[in-house]
Structure 1
Amino acid sequence: MSSVGGPPGPALVLIAEDEEPVAELLAYVVADAGYIPLLAPHGRAALELARARRPALLITDLMMPYLGGAALIATLRADAAAVGQTAAPAILVTGSGTRQALAAGADVILYKPFHIAAVEALLDRFLALASSGTESDGTRE
């Protein structure tokens, strides 16, 4: 398993999505690209998984029960900063909430409905960075 600072192997991609069909589609795309999907049905479960498994990439919905995507990203970034590390890149998926999405601090905002090719391109972009050790400049698309 590959994670930020982890041993080599297929990268772990945490998918935090409360809409099961969307979560399953994202998991399929991630697995088809050769990575390992970790599914969380809400933000609190995603936070627990992220802390335990340290994924190389987070794909999170903005609006979820228990803990929304913006709060999830902020918490994981604070966790990483507290120990002098860089948090995994975050892709925020939303069907609405443009202001909230922009304020969330995600590396990229992916609007629903999305094209599978867009997800594949983002996987390549961020997981190539994770495997090369190169850091993102923090800009949004």
Structure 2
Amino acid sequence: MDPEVEASLQQLLCRLDADCRWLKFRLYDTELPLAEIRYGFEIWLSRGMLARTVGENERAFLLAHELAHLRLGHRPPRNAGERLPLELEADAWAAARLGETGFDARAGVDLLQRLRDEFESLSLSPAPPRATDALNEYRQRIDSLPP
């Protein structure tokens, strides 16, 4: 990861959480928009996800969302049905944390809408069930965040 990008992410993370120094960043070398927390101390982000964030508020939401999974004790879901409640809870925690730390809590909505729109524009016809599930998840996550 570019040292300047990593330093910028570290600064955002430290605004969100006082125990930020023990978290490490790792980079997926892909254009797909991916982000996850692994091993309880690594935040994995893809080049594609970083490229899709607009400004520090959206990057802060992205980091807060992954931090939420850690702080809320989430474990990887065993199936698709277990995923949505965890994502909704992490989104809500992230939006609240953004508001508490001086970021724009609406940044999550903007980022999720852009990701949903990009996904919809792929025009998969007929849409595979997983694609339909992903679009429905984006819609529900967007609807659950504060306006």
TM-score (norm 2): 0.29
Larger Cα-atom Rg: 2
Q: Which structure dedicates a bigger proportion of its chain to helix?
A: 2
